[in-house]
Amino acid sequence: MMPPLALRQTPGSGRRWLLLGVGAATGGLFGLAFVVDHFGQRDRAVAAEVVVVLGARVLPGGEPSPALRARVERAVALYHQGLAPRLLFSGGVGLHPPSEAHVMRELALRLGVPAEACLLEDQSRSTEENARGCARVLGALGARRVVVVSDPFHLLRARQYFRLHGLEVATSPALVPGRALSARDRFYWTLREAAALMLHPRVLFARAPT
């Protein structure tokens, strides 16, 4: 039995559907990249139980990279403002030891944060592992409300992963003093984050816990 005329594929119809699909996906990707960029520009820090600081690159000799230093300085500023009584540093060992968490903790101590206010999660190697490891530490404390500090373009994806683990999340962007990303770099990083979210719908659509 022949299919109805309206359902028959004509030459080139498969290609048209493919182009439509690619166009829709591309439009969605660029739209989400705009959301990622816009989200990261706003400081949403509020009173919380813990400020979580996500790790970045450690330089040879255990020196913090500019991005890592900026994240710690932002978190320490929130601590001194009284937004939270504890800081949780999250990040494992990358190319250069020691762990990102330990480097951040040492810097925070030098910036006047007492040792008893510093918590460590030093095994994670990705945003997903950051969220999972921090959720274990926070669960042991009975804490659920956090402020997450990271680079602006990273904050939306970070928030979504922490939400998946049942946490109430506010965010605060860390800006490297004297460094403004070029339009090209900003475009690259926001597009990269948007792609990572689109590839993981469960993360993209994670909702705040009720």
What letter does residue 125 receive in the DSSP assignment?
A: -
- Range with the lowest mean pLDDT among 6-10, 104-108, 154-158, 198-202? 6-10
Residues in the chain: 210
- Per-residue pLDDT tens over the stretch 124-141: 999 999 999 999 999 999
27 pLDDT band, cuts 50/70/90, is low
Distances (CA, A) of 75 to 22, 97, 103: 41, 22, 14
- Range with the lowest mean pLDDT among 10-14, 118-122, 140-144, 200-204? 10-14
pTM, 2 dp? 0.86
Q: Is the domain 39-204 a CATH 1.20.120.80 member?
A: no
Distances (CA, A) of 108 to 21, 46, 98, 113, 130: 49, 20, 15, 6, 19
Q: CB of 134 within 8 A of CB of 147?
A: no
22 pLDDT band, cuts 50/70/90, is very low
Q: How confident is the model at residue 1, as a pLDDT?
A: 53
Q: CB of 50 within 8 A of CB of 84?
A: yes
Domain residue spans in the chain? 39-204
